Amino acid sequence: MTNAFEDFLFDDGVNQNWHMQLSERVALMHVLGRVKSEVSLEIGTFQCGSLRPIAAASKRVITFDIDENQHRISPLFPNVKFVTGDSAQTLPPIIEALNSGDEEVNFILVDGSHEEDGVRRDLIECIKYVPKRRPTVILAHDSANPAVRAGITSVPWVGCPYVHAINLDFVPGMLYDRADINGQIWGGLAAILMLPEPRKSEIDISATFEPSRRALLEKSVYN
């Protein structure tokens, strides 16, 4: 279901079955417009919601999902390779192949496992990619959720010389009062900027939502 405002904001067909807040969709579209991605990676295909804009803005996409049923509309996406299986196993060989090839990865969405270990593992794998000529932007969804945030913040970021900036709250999340997730905190996009040259100073880290997030935690089911 979309509304008139969303219909105005997005091109036909782009805004369907997309499991993100409107602010996250707009932010993701802006990043895609900036990076002009050659190859994009998406961990967490689900119903191809975020895949639609990623595929429309990228030359080629590789999307990963553990559940083969999430690939049932794959014929609609001629420039997308659908990979089925746990990203713990399926992502590493693809990162390795991309590192040894000439194609550039300019955009990655991490939205697969929402367990702390799974998020950390996916991100650690993503930053093994070495940017070649242009920047790579990684967006990690649900960065306000306690498990996801713990996964993101426990990545040994300083060990990767190509990570220059991290904005944990590029888009903030929220405390939900929806029946199925009442009292839970979800949403938010963390943004990680990788550049082709090694950084010469500390990583620029920002987490502007943190005081609000702590206040929300007091009211949440995690308290």
Query: Which residues fall within 8 angstroms of residue 25, CB to CB, at 6 or more apart?
Result: 10, 15, 18, 53
From 40-48, 126-134, 158-166, 204-212, give the range in contact with ligand SAM by CB under 6 A: 40-48
- Helix H segments across 73-145? 87-100, 116-126
User: Rule CB under 6 A: which of 1-20 touch ligand SAM?
Assistant: 18-20
Q: Which of 15, 21, 58, 87 binds ligand SAM (CB under 6 A)?
A: 87
66 near ligand SAM, rule: CB under 6 A: yes
Of 43-51, 73-81, 169-177, 209-217, which part binds ligand SAM (CB under 6 A)? 43-51
Among 6, 26, 46, 153, contact with ligand SAM (rule: CB under 6 A)? 46
Question: In 3-state terms, what secondary structure has residue 110?
Answer: strand
Q: Which CB atom, from 58 or from 164, has the smaller least distance to ligand SAM? A: 58
Q: Are 56 and 124 in contact (CB under 8 A)?
A: no
CB of 44 to ligand SAM, least distance (A): 3
Rounded to the nearest 5°, which phi and psi values hold at 16?
-130, 135
Residue 55 exposed, middle or buried by CB count within 10 Å (0-12, 13-18, 19+): buried
Residues lying near ligand SAM in the complex (CB under 6 A) are found at 18-20, 43-46, 49-50, 64-67, 70, 86-87, 111-113, 118
